Each structure stands twice: as structure tokens, then as C-alpha cells.
Amino acid sequence: MQQSRRLFFRLVSQFRRYGAIVAATLLAVGVASATDVLLIRQLQNVVDAMRSTATEHAAPVTGMMATLQGWVDRFLPAHAGQTELWVIPATILGLAVMRMVSSFAGDYGSVWLSSRVQADLREQMFATIMRLPSRFFDTTTTSVTQSRVAFDASQVSQAGLNVLNVMVRDSVATIGYLVLLFSIDVKLAIFCMASLPIVALVVTLAGRRMRHLSKSAQQAVGELTSVLDESIGGQRVVKIFGGQQYEKKRFLRVVKLNRQLAVKHASTSAVNSGFIMMLVGITLSSVIYFAMLRAQSGAITPGAFVAFMGALMAMQSPIKNLTKINEPLQRGLAAAESVFTLIDTPVEPDPGTQTPATVQGNLSLQNVNFRYSDDPDAPTALNNIVLDIAAGETVALVGGSGGGKTTLLGLLPRFYDVSSGRILLDGVDVRDYELLALRRQFALVSQDVILFNDTVAANIAYGDPTPDQARIESCARAAYAHDFIEQLPQGYATPAGQNGSRLSGGQRQRLAIARALYKDAPILLLDEATSALDTESERQVQAALEVLMRDRTTIVIAHRLSTIESADRIVVMQGGQLVESGTHAALLERNGAYARLHASQLSREPAAPRSV
């Protein structure tokens, strides 16, 4: 319960910056509800005025009509007061106009504020996501994170202003109707209050179950999104390996889970609302009976009786809304917990103060150890790495899969922090650089090229707030990409498609190289930049890479040893350790791990395109 209160107040605090608009909106909502109560109050004046007028001007009745009139007079005696006839319709018209204006203002303000806060939350979530450490993405699927931003953020509004809106609107209405009831007949009004403690108990018990079901439903939606993302994104693998039935079973399982949770949630809500309305019905029928008795004794006028019953009937709707408010509240609080958990996730530590515009590119790894888990008993991915790389030197990392090559590459721009040891850049620990300044010194070209659904020019100049078209074209020419770009329908303004879907593998790689050229960073990281290409595309990409690597510190990961024979130094990694280091010729003469790798590839690899 305490956690729920904290979540709710934190959510409400999101509206603080819009305090004046919130106050105006809630005031409009309250006025709209108050006019409903005042309109019901006018029923008493209408009925009493009509009965007085009818009594004065009606012709005498006899026979059966006289008997019926006697029964009416017995239960609903005439009201003695008189009211000017024009006052009542004028009052009702004024209240109707006030109701229209206040209702519009309240509804518009509620939608504006809810959408504004929802956008603010999404902005906060995205800002956090952009600064989360790589470990977070290693343990959380993309689809779950997407579901939090898209689905949970929209659900949060149910626990924010919408709930406050309902609370104000229906609380004002309920209190207004209660005041009206007590002003008409205190004894009948007290009798109506008898069922309230039972209603409060039902609301509390139902709220706990709905909170649990809401959290389960959000997890189920995230799982559904995950299955869809994997099945659709990997549709070629699904088709080629005949996994349609397997994926169908996975999908049906999460669909069934979502359906079951939805039914449970709806049934809990229905039982809660139905039981409360049954209590209201019992109270209402009892009140009608006792009201008739009091009318018979002359304790209330006909108009007062009609107004009392009208208020009692009208009060059902706001009471029902107030009893059902727990449902969106609990659903929204469950979503708020998910949203604020993401917002509160610790971002990448950035304690550094060094902010050089550029560096020379000298790297030194000193007794570097790394494990992906914080558990000290977890296996190490890198073990006591000692490696010095001079500015402008090209170093190739080779070895079997799982040797730690990509892990080592990820430590340099601090995608991960070392578990022990340190990495120096120009003699300064990389942790002493501000992250933005540190990563400004690196350019990355990997096997899995990431392009954005924007123009070709925007992808080349990615990260530059004021791109230079002449520089973009110059970098494209250097990357051997200008010719194919010019042949695209809109040239440099052609959309690349989602992740470059409109381009071939070789074209995407050359755009990635052009992007690295545009950044002009002193240190270049190449992670299997040519392994997925055909021979002709690889020749073109290798030519572009030779241009890119000039006068830069370059670290290359390559499985095709033929592409890195001209590297200044080749480092062999096995099991997270450096086992050999030297030039291509020296390592072959040593006849060690590199020589065995080279001989194994030479026996099954076609002639090399061109060496780096």
C-alpha cells in the first residue's frame, strides 16, 4: 500500500509543471458536476410549481378520478410555496450553458494534460535508454523495452490526471447529491449511508487482485511483442528451417495467456461493480419504501420527493465510477512501476573530466580482466590482457569464436568497463575521459551495419547537427560509394529504408565506411567488416577501407586471415588470452597457433581479394 502511494504521488508530481492548467481543468470538471446536481435540485421547484398551478386552475373531478386524486394527495401533498414561472426555465437554461462550457473545458484540458505528461514520460524513458549501459541490453530484450515506452507509458495516464479527473468529477457529484439528500430529508439520507462500509471493503479487496492482474498483463504483452519481433524479424530463418508450427505454438501460448488475463481482469471488475450496484439497488428499493411512508405522513412535498429520488438515482453513476476507479488506477500504477523502474535504471557511469577535441591514438591495455557478470565466480571473457598499440599502427585480432576479440574491442570506447586493470588512451585512463569526448575519438565499421530509416546523406553525416553536403560527397567518393548513390532514384536524398533494406550488403558497408570517414576519428575499429560480402563487393570495400585506415590507429577483427596479412601486427586470441603476437611472416615462421589457423584456412579458402 505504501509503495502504491509513493508511485501515485510520483506520478501526480509529473503534472506539477502544468499546475495552473491542472487547477483550471479540475475546476471546470467540478463545476460541470455541480451543475448536474443543481439541475436535479430544480426538479423540486418544477414539480411543486406545476402542482400548485394545477391545483389552482384544475376543474373539480368526480368519480374514479376523484379517488385517484385522493391517493396522490395522500402520498404527495401539495407544496404551499409559489415561484415565478419564468425563473425556473431561465435557471435551467443558465445551468445548461454553464454545463456545456465547463464540460468542454474539463474534457479538453484532461486530454491535453494526459497526452502532454505521457509525452514527457516517453521523453524521459528515451533519454534514459540512450544512456543505459550495454549490460542492460544484454539482459533485456528490445521488444520488452519497446513495450514499456509504447504501451506502459500510455497506461500510466490512467493513473494520473484521468483518475484525478474522475475523482473530482464524481466526488463533487456524489457530495452534491448527498448534500441535496440531507437538505431534503435527514433521516432518509442517513438510511442511504448504511451500505458505504461494505462498499469500501469490496473496493479494497478487488483492487489488490486487479493490481496483480495488471502487472501480469503487462508482462504478457511484453512477451507477445517479443515473440512477434523474433518471428517477423527472423522470418527467413523460420521459413528455411520449417519453424512455422513452432512459432505458431509460441504465439498461441502468449495469445492465450493474454486472453486469460484479460478475462480474469474483466471478471474481477464485473464482480466488483456488480456487487456494489446490487448493494445500491437494495438501498434504493428500501429508500423508496420509506420515502413513500414519509410522503404519506406529509414530511416531504411532492417536489422534494421527486428531487430526492432523482438525486438518489443520479448518484448511482458517480458512485459506480468511483468504485470502478480502482481498476484503471491499479492498471496505471502497475504501468507506472514499469515506467519509473526504467527511468530509474542506473545509466552509464561518466565520472571523467578530460575533454580533448582529438587524441593521437596511443592505446595501452594493462593487465585487463573482464567478465560480463558482476558475480566474482563468473567465467572471465578476458584474462590478463597486456597490449600496447602505437598511434597510426594497424593491429589485427584473430582467433576462433569466443576468443574475446569483440569483447576487447567493446572495452576501448567503454561499451563495458574493465573488471580489473586499466586501458590508457594517450597515457590517460579511458575512465578519466568524458564519455562523449572519449567516443568522439573512435569510428566503428562492423559486419552488421546499422543504417537508419533516413536519407543516404543523413546516414553518412550521422551525428552531425549541421551536415556539410560537399563533405558528404567527398567521403562517399573516398568510400567508393558515390557512383551507386548517384544512380539511386533521388541520389543522396534517397531513403535508405529500415536498416538499409533498399541497399545491397556491399553498398551498406561502403556507406558505413563513408560515415566513418565523415567522422574523421583518430582510432578506427573494424569488426568483421568484409566477412559477409561476395568477392566483388569485398574488393570494393577493401579498397575503401585502405583509404579509411590511412594515418589512423586501426584495430581489425578478421576471420579471413588473407585480408589482414599486411597488418603491422597480428595478435592471436584464444580463450580470452593473448597467445601470440607478431607480423604475418614472423608468426608463420614461429609455426604456432597462427600458422595452424592460416594453414587450416588456406586449405579451404579461395584466393584472397586484396589484403589490408
pLDDT at 211 over 70: no
Cell numbers describing residue 587: 608468426
Average pLDDT score over the chain: 80
Cell numbers describing residue 429: 585512463
Domain range list for the chain: 12-343, 448-520
Q: Which CATH superfamily is domain 12-343 in?
A: ABC transporter type 1, transmembrane domain (1.20.1560.10)
pLDDT at 64 over 60: no
- Residues near 339 by Cβ (< 8 Å), separated by ≥ 6? 121, 125, 148, 152, 153, 156
Q: Give tens-digit pLDDT for 501-527.
A: 778 888 888 898 899 889 989 999 988
Hunting for cell 591514438 — which residue is that?
361
pLDDT for position 210:
63
Hunting for cell 584495430 — which residue is that?
555
Burial 457-494 (b: 16+ CB within 10 A, else e): bbbbbbeeeeeeeeebbebbbbbbbbebbeebeeebeb
pLDDT at 83 over 70: no
Of residues 540 and 202, more confidently modeled:
540
Cell numbers describing residue 421: 586493470
pLDDT at 332 over 90: no
Position 317 confidence tier, pLDDT thresholds 50, 70, 90: confident
Hunting for cell 596511443 — which residue is that?
362
Q: Give tens-digit pLDDT for 423-444.
A: 999 999 999 999 999 999 999 8
Beta bridge partners of 581: 571
Q: Give tens-digit pLDDT for 598-609.
A: 888 776 655 444
The stretch 469-476 carries a mean pLDDT of 92
Report the phi/psi class of residue 468: left, alpha or beta, with left for phi > 0 and alpha for psi in -120 to 50: beta
Position 79 confidence tier, pLDDT thresholds 50, 70, 90: very low
Q: Give tens-digit pLDDT for 513-567.
A: 899 889 989 999 988 877 656 666 677 777 888 888 888 999 999 888 878 888 9
pLDDT at 330 over 80: no
pLDDT for position 496:
86
Q: Give tens-digit pLDDT for 147-164.
A: 888 888 888 866 667 777
Q: Give tens-digit pLDDT for 130-148.
A: 888 888 888 887 778 888 8
pLDDT at 321 over 90: no
Position 407 confidence tier, pLDDT thresholds 50, 70, 90: very high
**355: helix, coil or strand?**
coil
The stretch 50-71 carries a mean pLDDT of 48
pLDDT at 69 over 60: no
Sign of CA dihedral 28, 30, 36, 39: negative
Fold of domain 448-520: Rossmann fold (3.40.50)
pLDDT for position 426:
94
Of 54-58, 131-135, 365-369, 370-374, give the range with the top mean pLDDT.
Answer: 365-369
pLDDT for position 587:
92
Of residues 91 and 481, more confidently modeled:
481
pLDDT at 578 over 90: yes
pLDDT for position 85:
62
Share of the chain above pLDDT 90, in %: 24
- Residues near 105 by Cβ (< 8 Å), separated by ≥ 6? 24, 25, 28
Cell numbers describing residue 123: 521523453
pLDDT at 201 over 60: yes
Rounded alpha-carbon distances, angstroms, from residue 586 to 562, 566, 581: 15, 12, 9
